Structure 1
């Protein structure tokens, strides 16, 4: 039987350029990631997600690829990736990588050949038109690009791009392009990766159906999953799918398409719940999403490497979240989202930050922790667009934050060196020595979560309580039910739990000591922004 390892995984997302610089040139690299794998394992992480390290001009953080089968020299060479994989295997860490095949860089050899010659086989790799064709697709970055079509003088035609104009869309309806995608997946699977985070998965479906609008295009995911599974049975496809939740079933299929779907829907309602200090938005979101089929699962996160996109909320709800967490125009982006990290949004409140991390680990699905979240890193709003949340990892209070030994002024990536999130105040070293730090609490949560398989692989439903500030979830697996509680409000609360099978429980993890649950039905207490995870007492 194929192990469903992802059900109880803790995924940690790393941008190699920002994590650790091993050679002192001011830019993070693969050797630097290798140097910090023990840190991830000690934290409790079980899977590393590497964002693009492929050959690229780096105009879009590496998502503008010029060679999918090569490591960009800035990050090292292929032997550095092989060494990273070997060390990860020794430590029991799985590795997944980004699969960026919706588009390429305009400097990719395929595109250069395509624009030079209409008769080239590569011309059909991209989408061309003599005049901009009408389409329902809109630019992903509306404040940067005003059309999905750009004129190419050398080609004598327009080419399509829903992302930046320097990222032409591939035509995934072309069998030759799909063969190239399979070559890319095969190459990295042979080097030991445990799967791929499929970038722009929903837009890939649009590309697959473009030759025939009556075709739904989902055969593309069928083919990709079949190809991957034949080469590595336990490999996963983690899809970036920002669509209404009613469409998630199409991306899951019968459990034979995407293994994991990034749950933008629940992520949006998490922020609405935080803005209101009430559990109702989260309960509404959980009720409004379909259950994944057997063998599939949702993936959850607090903040990713892009903007906090709030498109799944109503206009009034989006305004409510914006007014709460991004009151200034410079904090907003693309007319739809927020370009801040979580700690500044919460005013640096450590209690509340720990509470939100507890929410991440108790909601049904596979949690993803982005580098630096475990220590509460901040943002730099002086940087353009999404770069505000893409700053160097803060390891210590040494010059260069322990990220790099490069001389001051020679760092190739931004470093937060002023304000409350200055690396001299917020770093791994300082927090590792503090028993009450966010890092310490996050590590405890991760290790507790690994021991509560009911959260990762069980059935989840709301527990019966009457306290609007508290999210109470009952998770059941193999006849065992556990309880997770999170107080989204600042005030202490007491409430009665009515679930019959949750009356005899003991704390596994909490924000601090609590009296044992007592009474029948049982009465429970939570501090403001408090959290508790409970499991049944062992009968003696």
Structure 2
């Protein structure tokens, strides 16, 4: 295989609003990230993905950009970012930014001009359609709730927004739009960043033939993704984006690419694919029904999770490289999602960490994951910030659920779960800020925080350091980074077992997803212990895996 520099990275995702506040205004900032670089270096991180810091009215926390070339003042200045890049280089930590190019904010100068000037040159930068008798062109529902069309004032004309109403979709059919986007991408790469995580990229191509259908002609509101996601012809846009930007730099690109079937993966991450790697959400979203109805829970089991994960790994392995994750800014906390509340402890949390970390691909750690941060328990919808959560709360009640049930749904799956302030210590507001935090902290921060775990043997944080060191610097590093993966069949539906193999090395990765001791027969001998979340294990012709044990053995 041809090795790429980005395959060896360990990437840490930062939600800047909630990472660390350097000036006491209650909002995290770029200087706060710089202040914690030594912590991240000590953890073993080699790259940071920073969620949007561009100028924005923050209706969707920065994913609604009003100026691609400026930073939002609450985060700092361009000089602050340049200093972060420079200080990162001193510690061998690279920086990638979020790239949001499916839509802008409705406060972006392009859109403001488009709706206020009859002969605006930016009218065709967005997707406008005539309504019919004060009804929108279709009855599509946006992903964040309500109609996907917003009516212009004093006109029977609407603009398309697949996400929030303050996030009008760009018209990628317009070459001028595309070239302006490419200029912006190259501007940031010239600044010295190492690449991008590319947001919602499979939505940039719309089937605009269907945007003049009478509302009665669409059966379900949720059909919006059928005509706005991963459409025929998107390859033209993605190839052009790559050729005019990414190919000019030896950069990393991580696509958020929902809706891509496995038989199209080669186009996205193959030898000549659009991106270095993509996130696959098929196993991350196993706990909810498809179609963004995430308040409708599914009763998944470990076998289903294991099968979905292995299907993803094997499909990606055939053609390219994956981006492995347990958590991100759009997901609840993994230990609250994958474990029963009564089962959450050091062993189960570290087992989960090891299970995904040694999959084939580049591992991503989301801020707070390395100390075992959990979901919150809110009692009022007024305590939520996330647009999607608020929509889900009211929609679930419209569909007949009680207020109590609706609150339980959003507590379980709200995107705000991963956006609460980082727990640095046991002081007020978890050491995140000296002011009032923009989002309420979780009550358990006095027990779960960096200070209480740092340099403490037997802590979740120290185990994450071992995970990283084993992958990056251990005897079997090449095998764990570049090796292929093969699922191992076991006589249990609650054990996840796989093998990584490379040249003459192999590593057997075993994870007990249950509260019972379980035996696994070894078909070979002379394995050596590489990593264990218990204090060692006896390896003969079989191993006994204790409750929630994570075990790596190599030969």
TM-score range, shorter chain: 0.7 to 0.9
Verify: 1:98 aligned to 2:114, yes or no: no
1:380-432 Cα offsets, whole Å, 9 max, x none, are 343322324311111011223221222xxx3333222x3xx2x2221100111
Distance 1:110 1:2 in 2: 42
1:467-500 Cα offsets, whole Å, 9 max, x none, are 33221111122342211111111111112122xx
Distance 2:281 2:75 in 1: 30
Distance 1:229 1:428 in 2: 36
| CA displacement at 1:355 relative to structure 2 | 0.9
Task: Name the structure 2 match of 1:258.
Answer: 275
Say which of 392, 396, 400 aligns to 2:425.
Answer: 396
What SS class does the counterpart of residue 506 from structure 2 fall into? strand
Residues 489 and 339 (structure 1 numbering): CA distance in 2 closer, same or farther, change over 3 Å? closer
Verify: 1:461 aligned to 2:483, yes or no: no
Say which of 224, 235, 242 aligns to 2:241.
Answer: 224
Task: Name the structure 1 match of 2:199.
Answer: 199
Verify: 1:475 aligned to 2:500, yes or no: yes
| CA displacement at 1:156 relative to structure 2 | 5.2
Task: Name the structure 2 match of 1:140.
Answer: 143
Matches within 5 A, 1:38-57: 38-57=38-57
Matches within 5 A, 1:270-285: 278-279=302-303, 281-285=305-309
Q: Are the equivalent residues in 2 in contact too, given 1:8–1:453 (CA < 8 A)?
A: no
Aligned residues: 489
Residues 346 and 357 (structure 1 numbering): CA distance in 2 closer, same or farther, change over 3 Å? farther
Q: Are the equivalent residues in 2 in contact too, given 1:341–1:378 (CA < 8 A)?
A: no
Unpaired runs of at least 5, structure 1: 309-324, 326-337
Distance 1:122 1:393 in 2: 40
More displaced 10-residue stretch of structure 1: 296-305 or 103-112:
296-305
Unpaired runs of at least 5, structure 2: 212-226, 290-297, 390-414
Task: Name the structure 1 match of 2:405.
Answer: none
Q: Are the equivalent residues in 2 in contact too, given 1:56–1:62 (CA < 8 A)?
A: yes
TM (norm. structure 2) is 0.81
1:311-367 Cα offsets, whole Å, 9 max, x none, are xxxxxxxxxxxxxx9xxxxxxxxxxxx996667857532221111111120222222
Distance 2:189 2:455 in 1: 39
Q: Are the equivalent residues in 2 in contact too, given 1:474–1:484 (CA < 8 A)?
A: yes
Task: Name the structure 1 match of 2:328.
Answer: 304
1:141-169 Cα offsets, whole Å, 9 max, x none, are 2xx32x21110116652000010111100
Say which of 224, 240, 244 aligns to 2:256.
Answer: 240
| CA displacement at 1:289 relative to structure 2 | 6.1
| CA displacement at 1:533 relative to structure 2 | 1.0
Task: Name the structure 1 match of 2:399.
Answer: none
Residues 276 and 167 (structure 1 numbering): CA distance in 2 closer, same or farther, change over 3 Å? closer
| CA displacement at 1:8 relative to structure 2 | 2.3
Distance 2:154 2:34 in 1: 43
Task: Name the structure 2 match of 1:492.
Answer: 517
RMSD: 3.0
| CA displacement at 1:439 relative to structure 2 | 1.0
Residues 27 and 378 (structure 1 numbering): CA distance in 2 closer, same or farther, change over 3 Å? same
TM (norm. structure 1) is 0.83
